Structure 1
């Protein structure tokens, strides 16, 4: 049986409210505390990066500040990129070597 489609903003508001009731208002990475107007800077991060995985016990959530949340997603994206590289490749190819002719220039000066 398919679940009815719930708009993302509405779904997010539901698990955010639950997470803020369950957990202390502290970033799980940098340990900064949040309250008042600054509470909006505290986000709910899905540990498995699946926004549809929202168990009632909150076991897939952690509260992260905006900065730590962005960092977490950047690291996740980087890991995916490097995991998809073909064997022997380590990410982007180097196409420019700024000091390529330096050895020849130093030899000429001797």
Structure 2
């Protein structure tokens, strides 16, 4: 790739990131005004410095779907937001907890003989 092509690509990527950040700031600010500063999953409350840990989750996973009534948003803490996206990835891959093609559980029980080991030790 020529140097000018590379710099043009970098410029396009930078502009796309700026636009995405501006869009995100817009709907985040709206959601923070609209909803209480509480995680919709774990119920943790946010204020002051830790408010930055409260994120906007798009229920339909489309970051461009930002209706003015906020019906596609919910406030989630960083941890619950990551968990929600992980659950979506697992569902798409068919490996989630609700999947019908689950692999068999573990057959080894590390505590199977624990009682006898403890009984021997107490004697």
Q: TM-score, normalised by structure 1?
A: 0.71
Select which of 47, 53, 72 maps to 2:84: 72
Answering whether residue 62 of structure 2 is matched by residue 50 of structure 1, we say yes
Q: What is the CA-CA distance between 1:34 and the residue it aligns to?
A: 0.2
Compute the displacement of 1:45 (Å): 0.1
CA root-mean-square deviation: 2.2
Matched residues in 2 for 1:90 and 1:8: separation?
A: 37
Consecutive unaligned residues of structure 2, counting only runs of 5 or more, are: 1-15, 109-123
Matched, 1:23 2:35: yes
Please give the alpha-carbon distance, in whole angstroms, between the structure 2 residues aligned to 1:45 and 1:10: 16
Bigger RCO (CA 8 Å, 6+ sep): 1
Gapped runs of 5+ residues in structure 1?
84-88, 100-110
Deviations 1:14-60 (CA, angstroms, capped at 9, x unpaired): 00000000000000000000000000000000000000000000000
What secondary structure, in the 3-state scheme, does the structure 1 residue paired with 2:27 have? helix
Q: Say how many residue pairs are matched.
A: 86
Question: Which ranges of 4 or more aligned residues in structure 1 deviate by more than 3 Å?
Answer: none
